[in-house]
Amino acid sequence: WELLERPNVHYFGNVSIGNGKDLTVEEVRNLGASAVVFSIGAQGTKAIGVEGDSAKGVFHAKDVVYHFNRLPGFGDRPFDMGKHVAIIGAGDVMVDISHWLIRYKKVERVTAIVRRGPAERKYNPKEIRAVCANMDVDGIAKEVARIKDRLAAVGQKADEVLKALTDEFTKCEETASETKMGFKFLASPKRIFVDGNNRVRGLEMEDNKLDPKGEDTVAVGLKQYYEFPCDAVIFAVGDKVDETVGLPYKSGMFVTNPNKTGNDPDDALFQAYDETTGKIVDGVFLAGWARKASEGLVGIAKRDGDWCAEVVNRYLATKPPGNHSKVVLDKLKTFLNDRKSHPVDVKNLRALEAAEKAHKGATDCIGEFKYASNQEMIELIERRMS
């Protein structure tokens, strides 16, 4: 709030940028601001494209996270998980979703499906504390024993790998759930099996081996397949940016300048770049997951923002003073008024926050009440501000 309420900060919420949205990228650039920074995260959905991925009971991690965080359009959407949920992925998002499934959905079992081995897990050890009280330690030991020969082939000792994995199961948060959580390592989903109602009944899995690649390893399929029963599948395999925003886009990412500048931090990392013209998009910058999707947690995102600010300030120092902020703001307000948009300012946000805090509704897993739709929030703000 301290930042938003500064006199030189102007907040316009509930305004979407992109093709067919409240404003296009070009319209934002033409408002007359000296620079534009996109720190919009990675709002696209990344999938691995297996047969059956449109079946009932198949979900993408982003949708699930939006659901349990009560985002408009997702908070009231049904997510029928059944008893046994398979999550594809081994990162922090997998842990977050497992936490929700264990503590709030209280499913019988959660299994994380991992392409590589235990040593290549990507989640933060501190994050696993949220679910480690529910780990099926005996089952995990059997799973590591199952793949011990494939681990040994790349110089990994199964007992050491298992110890490193389970030693992280400390300082576990208390749980009242009977859910069991486990892993299936060196496994890649190849197909989703469905029943007569097009509902998930299992996965076709391929066994993998590890091949060395520099100082890392890669998973290589062995063309040995088996069926893994489950009731739901959640793909937590990373994110991509939203290509409909209208920025130069390629392979799930907004394109940044490939030509290094030698500055520290390097300007090129944050500059939007148009490959068709071979030029940077002047005055347009990217930060956070908009620059590099799925890269790190809050600490890394903050650092990225700090570096981007340095780059933008360096850019501004080379330019003459731009339009007065009032000119830019008046033009923006005119655009939004003409489009019949409903921008939300800081006073509106304060009113909404007060209403949600006063609400006696269920708090669910985020610990606070949230309205489920934009329309509800806009109507409430209008009533409170009238």
Domain residue spans in the chain? 35-42+241-261+279-320, 47-237, 346-385
Comparison of pLDDT for 118 and 383, the residue scoring more: 118
Q: Is the pLDDT of residue 349 over 70?
A: yes
pLDDT digits (tens, 9 = 90+) for 23-34: 999 999 999 999
Which range is least confidently modeled, 87-91, 263-267, 360-364?
A: 360-364
Q: Strand 109-113 to strand 180-184: parallel, antiparallel, or no bridges (unpaired)? A: parallel
Are 9 and 328 in contact by the 8 Å Cβ rule? The answer is no
Give the type of residue at 273. Y
| Cα 300 from Cα 286, distance rounded (Å) | 14
Percent of the chain with pLDDT over 70: 97
Q: Is the pLDDT of residue 298 over 60?
A: no
Q: Is the pLDDT of residue 14 over 90?
A: yes
Confidence at residue 228, expressed as pLDDT on a 0 to 100 scale:
99
3-state secondary structure of 286: strand
pLDDT digits (tens, 9 = 90+) for 359-384: 876 656 666 788 888 888 999 998 88
Confidence at residue 274, expressed as pLDDT on a 0 to 100 scale:
97
Distances (CA, A) of 68 to 80, 210, 216, 289: 13, 35, 35, 21
Are 217 and 230 in contact by the 8 Å Cβ rule? The answer is no
Q: Which homologous superfamily is 47-237 in?
A: FAD/NAD(P)-binding domain (3.50.50.60)
| Cα 289 from Cα 240, distance rounded (Å) | 9
Comparison of pLDDT for 43 and 189, the residue scoring more: 189
Are 268 and 259 in contact by the 8 Å Cβ rule? The answer is yes
| Cα 44 from Cα 71, distance rounded (Å) | 15
Q: Using alpha carbons only, how large is the chain's radius of gyration in Å?
A: 24
DSSP string, 159-224: HHHHHHHHTT--SPPP-----EEEEE-SEEEEEEEE-TTSBEEEEEEEEEEEEEETTEEEEEEEEE
Q: Is the pLDDT of residue 236 over 80?
A: yes
pLDDT digits (tens, 9 = 90+) for 45-76: 777 789 999 999 999 999 999 898 888 888 77
Confidence at residue 365, expressed as pLDDT on a 0 to 100 scale:
60
Element of type H or E holding 15: none
What token pair was written down for 356?
Answer: 């949600």
What's the rounded mean pLDDT across residues 228-254?
A: 93
pLDDT digits (tens, 9 = 90+) for 124-175: 999 999 999 999 999 999 999 999 999 999 999 999 999 999 999 999 999 9
Confidence at residue 366, expressed as pLDDT on a 0 to 100 scale:
63
| Cα 381 from Cα 375, distance rounded (Å) | 10
What's the rounded mean pLDDT across residues 256-273?
A: 96
Give the type of residue at 134. N
What's the rounded mean pLDDT across residues 223-234?
A: 98
Percent of the chain with pLDDT over 90: 77
Are 232 and 81 in contact by the 8 Å Cβ rule? The answer is yes
| Cα 204 from Cα 191, distance rounded (Å) | 5
| Peptide bond between residue 265 and the one before it cis (omega within 30 degrees of 0) | yes
What token pair was written down for 296?
Answer: 């790190």
Q: What are phi and psi of 112, to 5 degrees?
A: -90, 125
| Cα 279 from Cα 248, distance rounded (Å) | 11
3-state secondary structure of 229: strand
Confidence of residue 297 (pLDDT cuts 50, 70, 90): low
Q: Is the pLDDT of residue 287 over 90?
A: yes
Q: Is the pLDDT of residue 7 over 80?
A: yes
Confidence at residue 295, expressed as pLDDT on a 0 to 100 scale:
63
Q: How many CA atoms lie within 13 A of 137 on its CB side?
A: 10
User: Is the pTM here over 0.75, yes or no?
Assistant: yes
User: Exposed, middle or buried, 362 (CB in 10 Å: 0-12/13-18/19+)?
Assistant: exposed
Distances (CA, A) of 188 to 139, 184, 192, 322: 19, 9, 11, 53
What's the rounded mean pLDDT across residues 108-112?
A: 99
What's the rounded mean pLDDT across residues 252-275?
A: 96
